[in-house]
Amino acid sequence: MKGKRIALFIFVDALGWEILQAHPFFLSDIAKNRRRLKTILGYSSACDPSIISGLTPSEHGHWSCFYYSPETCPYKWVRWLGILPDFLTNNHRIRHRLSQLIAWVHGITGYFQIYNVPFKYLPYFDYAEKKWMWEPGGMIRGKSIVDLLSAKGISYYVKGPHTSDVQQWKEVEQAIDQQKIEFAYLFLGKLDALMHGWGTRDRSVGELLGEYDRLIRNLIKRAEEHYEQVDWYVFSDHGMHNVQQPVDLQKVIDRLDLVYGKDYAAMYDSTMARFWFLNDPAKQKITHALQQVPEGRWMLEKELRELGVYFPDHQYGDAIFLMHSNMLIVPSYMGAKMIAGMHGYHPDDADSYAAILSNRNLNDQNLESIKDIFRLMEKSL
């Protein structure tokens, strides 16, 4: 006997609207309903919580990973790691292992990475995602779809991006075969990593989407064999931009004869630089210096409010300098080298838009932004 109904929400990291337009074969015959969705300014740390809560970063409290707060930083001891030689401190694998160690020591269960932040500056910053958001009570503010599923007693499968694509698929297939779940939220993360390395136009992008096409079709078919009704949605968090030019913002600031930690603090993300001004001269010097950089611009408070990423307490920065599309901060605190593709640019840029596809009608759902996906998940309950 078949189960009554299952809702499948399949997240394909970085499957942007423009990527979808360039590969029209993807689920073409079974996903007649597809829409372009506006993303959230920021990275996965902003997009993921907005998707699963229906709230903006200003509302749920998650935006970027790090924020200036030397008083509350729990891992101040890492400054002593700065005495290690560069070939150790700048090694990706070593930093990944250190991230795991720091998270374990301080009981951080959320996604935690120190990336390329210099050890001498890490003690100035606290970390936002201390809890694993993919479990009940994981949000800083507000409730997620996981909270609702748990409250309603609905059987579900949600693991989050820590679990590999292969493992998730294996586990959810078994749950479907046994009709154990009514809701599943799955991740496919390889496309994002692939386009970071090779850009959006490499032939490997189409090849991977071909693999995804087969994988998703097989899962839907499997679900239809075990459930009377299968509602499925394939969606993303953002698109991907091809990077054309590196910009060294740190060099611009280093010329100003200011002292980090005394005059200012900065977090150099890949596509934006966030500053905290500790005195007025530093504010004036930094503001003027970056006004002369044509590859980016200062964001206005009005614009940040409209995008849902304004924080009155300036938790994530007193001022935000955003790079134009195709420009990348190199080196940054996220990485020291140039890469082929990146996201995190202005949501209105064409390559920033996300996408959603479904076997259900999307036209009457009032879907404009990735945060509206939450309403679809809530309805499916």
272-327 pLDDT, tens digit each: 999 999 999 999 999 999 999 999 999 999 999 999 999 999 999 999 999 999 99
Say whether 126 sits in a helix, a strand or coil: strand
Look at the chain and report how many structural domains it folds into.
Answer: 2
Residue 138 resides in a domain: no
Residues 201 and 329 in one domain: no
Residue 154 resides in a domain: yes
Residues 37 and 156 in one domain: yes
Domain housing 186: 3-43+143-242+352-380
Residue 129 resides in a domain: no
Report the mean per-residue pLDDT for the chain.
Answer: 93
Residue 156 gets which letter from DSSP?
E
pLDDT tens by residue, 154-164: 999 998 777 78
Residues 231 and 362 in one domain: yes
- Mean pLDDT of the 121-148 span: 94
Residue 67 resides in a domain: no
Residue 251 resides in a domain: no
Residue 54 resides in a domain: no
Residues 181 and 323 in one domain: no
Residues 295 and 164 in one domain: no
Residues 235 and 276 in one domain: no
pLDDT tens by residue, 57-94: 999 999 999 999 999 999 888 887 777 766 666 777 88
Residues 187 and 318 in one domain: no
Residues 158 and 214 in one domain: yes
- Mean pLDDT of the 258-269 span: 97
Residue 199 resides in a domain: yes
Residues 207 and 153 in one domain: yes
Residue 97 resides in a domain: no
Instruction: Give me 138's structure tokens.
Output: 């994981």
Whether 365 and 372 have beta carbons less than 8 Å apart is answered as yes
Instruction: Give me the DSSP letters along 186-220.
Output: EEE-HHHHHHHHH-SSSHHHHHHHHHHHHHHHHHH
CATH number (domain holding residue 154): 3.40.720.10
In the chain, where do the E strands start and end? Answer: 3-12, 33-37, 66-68, 125-127, 156-158, 183-188, 227-235, 241-242, 245-247, 264-268, 272-277, 296-298, 319-323, 327-329, 341-342, 354-358
